[in-house]
Structure 1
Amino acid sequence: MTTQQLTHQIQLKKSFLCIGLDVDLHKIPPHLLATEDPIFEFNKAIIDATHDLCVSYKPNTAFYEAYGIKGWLSLQKTINYLNEKHPEIFTIADAKRGDIGNTSSMYAKAFFEDLDFDSVTVAPYMGKDSVEPFLAFENKHTILLALTSNEGAFDFQTKKIDHKEVYKHVLETSKTWKNSEKLMYVVGATKAEYLSDIRKIVPDSFLLVPGVGAQGGSLSEVCKFGMNQQVGLLINSSRGIIYASNGTDFVEKARAEALKMQGEMAAILDKQ
């Protein structure tokens, strides 16, 4: 998927909502545990209930890898279902990969060729040759961890080297890499006050923003400082939507929460 196609979906749906499919068998409705594949059945139900309200889905692969081969097969069934039923939706493998070049090439093949995700999250710590293999794939996107929403982000990401924060070095350096136009960046909603500086460095890039909702981030603050002329934002919500209920009404409750966020986004877009 191209960024132009993603922007078109945002305009069409009046939404820049990304729903995180972080499936924990201890949190899903108990009645689903009796099904052959509870993880996929949960995901399918969430997708069927919310696909018209969001432009992206983001499975965090750890929640699938934790269940071994069965979890991986559930992930594969989920992405196959999305690509078959809703090819217009932008898919993100939240895998946070990144390794030496030949290993990164294999990670990229796994997510872009075998599973056919539109994008994957990648850690920048090992530098250019660990990221460029992901950027070699046509119409695929690499979402680089820039400034994350967790408390530990302050351990390294905001420390200064040569009077400049590390995350700014990451942003600036990444722009020099081959095919850098395919980069997107993770910026936590709990760091909204940093978005103005980030936009000075990457004014046109899409930002994946976790942390709105359960982690306390503000949608209005993120949009105020982070939105560009093409919107350029994917606001992720996971727990606040998919675990709005763990009863038999989980589908209705999830849709209600997604509709609430989509309504807030539509109001913001109408003011642009």
Structure 2
Amino acid sequence: MKNAQTQPFAERLRTAIKRAGSPLCVGLDPDPQRIPSHLGEGIAACRSFVKRIIESTHDLVAAFKANTAFFEAYGPDGVALLEEMKGCIGENALLIVDAKRGDVAHTNEAYARVFFGRMRADAVTVQPYLGGEPLEPFLRDPARGAFVLCATSNPGAAEVQNLATERGPLYLEIARHVRTWSEHANIGLVLATTQPEAIKSVLEVAPELPLLLPGGGAQGGRTREVLALLKRKQALGLFTFSRSVIYASSGKDFAEAARRECERLKAELV
């Protein structure tokens, strides 16, 4: 039997979903303005908050998605906390570093060393604007994955992502290109659940790509509709919920409230 760290990324993702019994991913966005006040302030409060969320929910989720900006805002101590994250999560759930990086290849080499080396991440989010060739450092290891931004949930996304091409909107053209960017089946797409029509179109042209599906909870994503689309195509996807889980309570029961919300979401994602 293969070691978990040497399995192809798509296989590792399926294994994590099967173990959790759900395609649920919890987003870790530790906003200092929303961390429960009884934990104190600064990086100590952030560390306690994040670790208690992980401890309370790790057996219910297939992955955690750490938004690097919220950690980097704490300076070197926040980056150090990111480097501790995989040790807290363990090997059963995946760690996705939500960094949205994308540069020329030699710069991406350095990013890959940080995310897959120091942080021991299982996957990273990346930008497609420079094309597929510069993303090779993120895709070299078949056991590690990259999710490419495709159709996002922010209000201004359509300004660029819906630009017309000869074969349809730009986001659909991105999906077509991403299919050709890795021979290891370790590349996927970021598609917001607030965009079910975009997801339906992408599943027609690239049904084999794993999907990272943010936008649920506070952003009003249409989770059940998207789940039905994925089941119809037997597609692989992770549904990400951040604020609705980690800020389910602002009191001393915040970790227990996060777990209750995960239990509710797990039942919804069957």
Question: Are the counterparts in 2 of residues 22 and 60 from structure 1 also a CA contact under 8 Å?
Answer: yes
1:59 to 66, 69, 75: 66
- CA displacement, residues 123-178 of structure 1 (integer Å, 9 cap, x when unaligned): 00111222122111230001100111111110111111224211111111122224
Asked if 1:38 corresponds to 2:38, the answer is: no
Structure 2 unaligned residues grouped into runs of 5+: none
Which AA in structure 2 matches 1:15?
S
Match of 1:216 in 2: 220
Tell me how far apart the structure 1 counterparts of residues 48 and 58 of structure 2 sit (CA, whole Å).
15
Once the two structures are superposed, the pairs formed by residues 1-272 of structure 1 within 5 Å of their partners are 1=5, 2-33=9-40, 37-82=44-89, 86-179=90-183, 181-227=185-231, 231-266=235-270
TM-score, structure 1 length as denominator? Answer: 0.91
Tell me how far apart the structure 2 counterparts of residues 111 and 225 of structure 1 sit (CA, whole Å).
32
Tell me how far apart the structure 1 counterparts of residues 12 and 167 of structure 2 sit (CA, whole Å).
39
Q: 1:228 to 1:5 in 2, by over 3 A?
A: farther
Q: Give how far 1:10 is off.
A: 1.9
- CA displacement, residues 246-266 of structure 1 (integer Å, 9 cap, x when unaligned): 110111111111110011113
Tell me how far apart the structure 1 counterparts of residues 235 and 248 of structure 2 sit (CA, whole Å).
27
Match of 1:269 in 2: none
Which AA in structure 2 matches 1:12?
R
Q: 1:185 to 1:113 in 2, by over 3 A?
A: same
Q: 1:76 to 1:197 in 2, by over 3 A?
A: same
Q: Identify which range, 197-206 or 49-58, moves more after superposition.
A: 197-206
TM-score, structure 2 length as denominator? Answer: 0.92
Tell me how far apart the structure 1 counterparts of residues 240 and 151 of structure 2 sit (CA, whole Å).
15
- CA displacement, residues 22-52 of structure 1 (integer Å, 9 cap, x when unaligned): 0011111112126872222111111111111
Question: Are the counterparts in 2 of residues 204 and 228 from structure 1 also a CA contact under 8 Å?
Answer: no
- CA displacement, residues 205-231 of structure 1 (integer Å, 9 cap, x when unaligned): 211011111001121111122336655
Q: Give how far 1:60 is off.
A: 0.2
Tell me how far apart the structure 1 counterparts of residues 18 and 180 of structure 2 sit (CA, whole Å).
30
Which AA in structure 1 matches 2:179?
K
Question: Are the counterparts in 1 of residues 67 and 97 from structure 2 also a CA contact under 8 Å?
Answer: yes
Tell me how far apart the structure 2 counterparts of residues 248 and 230 of structure 1 sit (CA, whole Å).
40
Which AA in structure 2 matches 1:160?
A
Q: 1:261 to 1:177 in 2, by over 3 A?
A: same
Percent identity of paired positions between Structure 1 and Structure 2: 37
- CA displacement, residues 36-77 of structure 1 (integer Å, 9 cap, x when unaligned): 722221111111111111100001000011111111112112
Q: Give how far 1:200 is off.
A: 1.5
Tell me how far apart the structure 1 counterparts of residues 236 and 167 of structure 2 sit (CA, whole Å).
28
Tell me how far apart the structure 1 counterparts of residues 166 and 41 of structure 2 sit (CA, whole Å).
57
Two-structure CA RMSD over aligned residues (Å): 1.7
